[in-house]
Amino acid sequence: DAGVTQSPTHLIKTRGQQVTLRCSPISGHKSVSWYQQVLGQGPQFIFQYYEKEERGRGNFPDRFSARQFPNYSSELNVNALLLGDSALYLCASSLLQGSEKLFFGSGTQLSVL
Amino acid sequence: KQEVTQIPAALSVPEGENLVLNCSFTDSAIYNLQWFRQDPGKGLTSLLLIQSSQREQTSGRLNASLDKSSGRSTLYIAASQPGDSATYLCAVRGLGGGGNKLTFGTGTQLKVEL
């Protein structure tokens, strides 16, 4: 079975642009979470979606938004990119909203120039 | 607000050595604690999960302990190998709402040398 897949793997944008990152969870998993990992830091929670509804939000500005589709895949959108948005964006899927086991994808490395 | 700290930030050891990684957290109201491994530029792989009611978990050469009252966890790696070189992250899941949100430490970068 395929694990959590994220696309693209790498992305380069300039300040002020908008970006969309994509995540496909493990088959059968209904919850998707997004994390931002700045170089040298631990991942920071951005969003959790379950059954297409937002179930948790971290301390990130409104420039960050996400959605989950009927097939449980998810997109993370970031508007008006800043240099500080450069990071590895990780997607994690779990079977249910409160599931203990999270399965992480390999991430999307975003560079903002 | 939960804060998770990991010491040391980096560690270099010769192959075969036993080692201990430390993790501390400020709020003891946790649901569980997990240890993850991250290879450079890659995602996270879960190593061990300890429920708040448990004291330790073991998997192969890895043993993780939890002292919730003091806000501490340790990851013990026995007979280290070069393949163990990676960044090790601990993460706690708090009680209450927020689904399965995890709060991570900044990690310990481990290098095991031949």
pLDDT in tens, chain A (113 residues): 579 999 999 999 999 999 999 999 999 999 999 999 999 899 999 999 999 999 989 999 999 999 999 999 999 999 999 999 999 999 999 987 777 788 999 999 999 99
Residue B106 with chain A: CB contacts under 8 Å: 40-42
Instruction: Please name the helix (run of DSSP H) or strand (run of DSSP E) that holds residue B25, with its range, or none.
Output: strand B19-25
**Across the strands, what pairs with A76?**
A21, A66
Cβ–Cβ under 8 Å, residues B76 and B88? no
CA dihedral B31→B32→B38→B41, nearest 10 degrees, is: -10
Distance from CA of B109 to the nearest CA of A (A): 10
Q: What is the pLDDT of residue A9?
A: 96
How many Å lie between the alpha carbon of B113 and the closest alpha carbon of chain A? 21
Q: Give CA–CA dist B11/A82, Å, rounded.
A: 33
The position carrying tokens 């079977």 is A95
B84 phi, psi to nearest 5 deg: -80, -10
According to DSSP, the β-strands at B10-14 and B62-67 are unpaired
pLDDT at A89: 97
Q: What is the mean pLDDT of residues B9-16?
A: 96
Confirm if A73 and B26 have CB atoms less than 8 A apart.
no
CB A4 within 8 Å of CB A23: yes
Closest partner residue to B102 (CB to CB) among A45, A103, A105 is A45
B4 touching A, CB under 8 A? yes
Question: Rounded CA gap, A1 and A26, in Å?
Answer: 8
Cβ atoms of A50 and A30 closer than 8 Å: yes
Total count of residues recorded for chain A: 113
Chain B residues closer than 8 Å to A56 by CB: 97-99, 101
Segment B58-75 shows an average pLDDT of 96
For residue B80, what pLDDT is reported? Answer: 97
Q: Which of B1, B4, B44, B106 to probe by mutation at the A interface, max A CB count within 10 Å?
A: B44
Q: What is the mean pLDDT of residues B20-30?
A: 95
| B52 contact A CB<8A | no
What mean pLDDT comes out for the span B62-78? 97
Longest dimension (CA), chain B: 46
| For range B65-74, the mean pLDDT | 96
The more confidently predicted of residues B96 and B28 is: B28
Residue in A56, A92, A94 nearest the CB of B98: A56
Look at residue B42 and tell me whether its pLDDT is greater than 90.
Answer: no
- Give the residue from B28, B49, B61 showing the smallest Cα distance to B91: B49
CA nearest A93: which of B99, B58, B104? B99
How many Cβ contacts (< 8 angstroms) between chains A and B? Answer: 68
Mark yes or no for CB contact A42/B100 under 8 Å: no
pLDDT of residue A60: 96
If one compares B100 and B31, the residue with the highest pLDDT of the two is B31
Which tokens belong to B94? 């708090």
Does B9 have pLDDT greater than 70? yes
Asked if B106 lies within 8 A of A42 by C-beta distance, the reply is: yes
